[in-house]
Structure 1
């Protein structure tokens, strides 16, 4: 590859979720636009480990080459442990390796981005059309907050386990304060139990990721180029203007690769999409970051931005129980049982079975309601509740639900069936940091402080999650005792002591377990010793005012530079980050197109009369008509009507 003076119009540093969406949208609308994606990882096109959703376990192996593993500093809050947090390193990034959970943020999350962090155009009313634009929602027709013509499919997957059904039955019988819903992700409410959708095509059983449905489906467009196995070192500048990227060969797949730096140039724009770990490192090696940190690593200061690498946020806990033989679980598949793998592969070719699923089929975004909930949360959570949650009724405190497998070490666990209960603190108070450890070596490990559990409110929410999920799990008919290595070690005289073996569940009306103050301390110690990541990292290049620690403005421009954009969230969302990353990618495409005067969006023209047109989903391509036909349609979300000849309605 001779890239001595390779030049494109737009160069993306990183090929993850947001990059695939933005680059794909821009390339589709402007086929003469020269776009390059530089990605450290490798291609994922049609690779079974990526397109089969149920294979996500394999990416978590310590020997995985589709993830980067970031080792945190030892922490007293984590009982002296060093937390390891992975991030995607392949085309599609996390979207190509994640659990395919379809979990959207709440409307108030995006409204916070707009009002609290001063980002006009990033509120829920602005982003909902973009959320809808990404998806074809196969679960249920005609729901107003979902989309039905986007490139990514959303379904129940190819198999829903009986563990999920039993979880919902027990929840309905024991938690009468909260009801069932057909739409657990309707954007405006929480505290409802329900089945859980997935980013899986319900017809083919394949993973829905932007690599395949925004990028690989455009291979005929030779102006969209991808270079894999190339790790971005720094941004190239001429004065304040970003003009390109310097990169070296990645060493994961090519350990002996020549490390001579190469340069690639961008005539119009450089866009960094390295995620919560990669983007701050690239900025800091480029001289953009805190002045004292850059001086420590002998990096010449270009822009003093102390917010770079700060405000790291992430969140997850699983506890495991033994399950009866009647339970549907992934355990044989995870252990590599040949007969089970063969059986499931044959089913997957028809879009069915465990390989077309993820084993996480039900759940709830939950917040406290009554005295019992607030008693379990305790005084450590009271201030957080009053300041953050009480006036945002769509914000859950945690998410929890069953997982039809042992998320743990199968090599040391008895060979049998398991199910786990996952509970996730959706908005941790604790925030960490990610910085470079070398100003020159792009392969060097991060100086990473996750800061998990540094605030007592975070322990309180997890303690509540443990108690809530345990009460449901021990009433489920498939329950056969608690997997003690992944449970608190209560004292022998505690009413809450865990039991390894059980012939069956307790009765639905059995009394609720009571926990002493000492029991609560044991639960807290358990979380310090066992808490792991949910792989939902964000915040390290926040979109907020510069004087408040911001790194980019509302148009994603890096402060103190020109022609350099970066996409990252200013604050946490009560959800998996995949949906928000897709939305940020869609928004980035809109902003880039506006800045560069490019066309964006699919052209669609009115087919029915304006009296029946109520949303963008009523539009289909037909021969153009006069501009008068579009009168009165300006108020429809997601439409841009242009006064051109011929006139166009563009779906934005």
Structure 2
């Protein structure tokens, strides 16, 4: 492995070989002889990459290298303060992606933030700790042939990873919570308008309260969110949990920042199937390329956008697309970059609240100083808010409104699976938090989210240059029968019911009789909200809808290479020694927030890899 680096987050050039003048290695033996090597090379230090790196490097007899395109999370203040997560958007820590124009959303190109930092999006997005519905994972096993990935298979990993801190004001049955893991979870700051306005308003709207949505009983109901915010009020990302300073000091673990993997290297001569033998990377556009050998496996953990991009750049994907970019075909697979699904939100429903009831005052630097001082001294106060403090999970087919002609069809994963989420946030969350409330208003935001979309999109190459963002087309609202839109229309109308509730109205400013479209009572233009038509809501949705940052499925898991990219052990079909672990392998979209499932899946995969290695060692020992 060479000498030990002093800085755990080292320069990637320190342990790599410049690209050989004669081109890439053509065999495993040549790579082993001529390149710096590690047992496992993990591409991407996102949610899954952090867990895999930590778990695999527990074995002192193997070496693990992680290549991350972003930088060190520990030096970025905004990654620590929960309320400031949106301040990381459009910064060097964000891939800052945009979709192609969406015909069903007023031909808008939508912003897609993705974490380019150690910890990935777990270091950048909101901190919802959510297992999702049991039936989501059972559907993977029963409907999509992904044996070993049911809820019962994942439940032990959910518990073993978690270190749950109970809250004195929110008692739950802790039998389903873990207490000895690395990942800090619990109940963080809760604003009064959320607790007494939104959550009670949900109950007024016939959405029952549920204390803990992270149990086998399911997600349905209204609830205070569990978060991955630690008792000190700081974000507990999968980087802080699994790439902690003591883990980074392991002599067999290496984490390199600012390394952009240009392709996976394959031996196409020695074995019948191509074998991944390493990766090639650059540190800057047009710069020199470097190569690293993987003695055992390469594991892609780049997420639903970057993983399919890496596969395509490496010659794995639809043959026609590879030929168009003059990329040599290693393995033809029409599924790479297909079946992309995302959670789409309608425009935020903004209700004007009474002065002092929301957190919008924190946009004023002077007024925010006491809150900052409190957080730095105690870890408490409004800066420890997750913004999305509570939510309601419902089934759209349970609701019928006289204004709506056609009800949506049921595409939930099972009887306890929702297809709608409504987030309650005590702040104006407009344009991903970039826009402040007008005139210093206090605003409460309700966000309806379609959890089980039927629309499918694609991730394709823009060019052969890894520094050119891929083409992202989520193809929003394109499903047959327009069911995704119908689900969201139900979500908006349920939001209006919550707003009209007696409990919530206590916190809101009265609607002016002659209200105007520029007020913060979107989407109302009058006080008679019952008369709003579907057509008006559709226009509102088309102009303002946005992503909730949950793309999945672009390298999905399944038994057949004709419909999937990886098998049930996350091995890429048709090649050896190459796996994928991130949200791209999800066979179907889940009905909630994906960070906890990704972490549990990565932990499970690490055990699968270790077990396979133990079995191979026993076979070799017996020969």
Q: TM class by shorter-chain length? A: 0.7 to 0.9
Q: Residue 362 in 1 paired to residue 390 in 2?
A: yes
Q: Which residue of 2 aligns with 1:574?
A: 591
List aligned pairs for 1:49-198, cutoff 5 A: 49-60=78-89, 62=90, 64-139=91-166, 140=171, 142-172=173-203, 174-176=204-206, 178-198=207-227
Are the aligned partners of 2:82 and 2:126 in contact in 1 as well (CA < 8 Å)? yes
CA distance in 2, matches of 1:498, 1:399: 26
**Cα RMSD between the aligned structures?**
2.3
Count of paired positions = 559
Gap change, CA 1:498 and 1:86, over 3 Å in 2: farther
Q: Which residue of 1 aligns with 2:427?
A: 405
Q: Which residue of 1 aligns with 2:76?
A: 47
Gap change, CA 1:164 and 1:485, over 3 Å in 2: farther
Q: Which residue of 1 aligns with 2:305?
A: 277
CA distance in 1, matches of 2:518, 2:243: 43
Are the aligned partners of 2:162 and 2:184 in contact in 1 as well (CA < 8 Å)? yes
List aligned pairs for 1:431-446, cutoff 5 A: 431-439=456-464, 441-446=465-470
CA distance in 2, matches of 1:22, 1:99: 22
CA distance in 1, matches of 2:214, 2:401: 25
State which of 366, 389, 395 in structure 1 corresponds to 2:417.
Answer: 395
Gap change, CA 1:591 and 1:484, over 3 Å in 2: farther
State which of 477, 490, 496 in structure 2 corresponds to 1:464.
Answer: 490
Are the aligned partners of 1:163 and 1:478 in contact in 2 as well (CA < 8 Å)? no
Deviation at 1:298, TM superposition (A): 0.5
Gap change, CA 1:18 and 1:405, over 3 Å in 2: same
Q: Residue 237 in 1 paired to residue 254 in 2?
A: no
Q: Residue 418 in 1 paired to residue 443 in 2?
A: yes
Deviation at 1:43, TM superposition (A): 0.7
Deviating more after overlay: 589-598 vs 266-275: 589-598
Deviating more after overlay: 210-219 vs 262-271: 210-219
Are the aligned partners of 2:70 and 2:257 in contact in 1 as well (CA < 8 Å)? yes
Deviation at 1:487, TM superposition (A): 7.7
Q: Residue 247 in 1 paired to residue 281 in 2?
A: yes
Gap change, CA 1:483 and 1:365, over 3 Å in 2: farther
Are the aligned partners of 2:340 and 2:553 in contact in 1 as well (CA < 8 Å)? yes
Gaps in structure 2 of 5+ consecutive residues: 1-12, 18-34, 269-273, 617-623
Are the aligned partners of 2:191 and 2:426 in contact in 1 as well (CA < 8 Å)? no
Runs of 4+ with deviation above 4 angstroms: 374-378, 481-490
TM-score of the pair, normalised by structure 1: 0.81
Are the aligned partners of 1:92 and 1:209 in contact in 2 as well (CA < 8 Å)? yes
Q: Which residue of 2 aligns with 1:452?
A: 476
Q: Residue 594 in 1 paired to residue 618 in 2?
A: no
CA distance in 1, matches of 2:366, 2:615: 52
Q: Which residue of 1 aligns with 2:294?
A: 266
Deviation at 1:595, TM superposition (A): 2.3
CA distance in 2, matches of 1:87, 1:525: 28
CA distance in 2, matches of 1:200, 1:598: 39
**1:585-611 deviations in Å (ceiling 9; x for gaps):** 112211221222299xxxxxxxxxxxx
Deviation at 1:403, TM superposition (A): 0.4
Are the aligned partners of 2:400 and 2:407 in contact in 1 as well (CA < 8 Å)? no
Deviation at 1:489, TM superposition (A): 7.9
Q: Residue 216 in 1 paired to residue 230 in 2?
A: no
Are the aligned partners of 2:189 and 2:389 in contact in 1 as well (CA < 8 Å)? no
TM-score of the pair, normalised by structure 2: 0.85
Gaps in structure 1 of 5+ consecutive residues: 252-257, 491-495, 500-511, 600-652
**1:179-228 deviations in Å (ceiling 9; x for gaps):** 22211332333332222221111x21111111111112312212211110
CA distance in 2, matches of 1:17, 1:471: 37
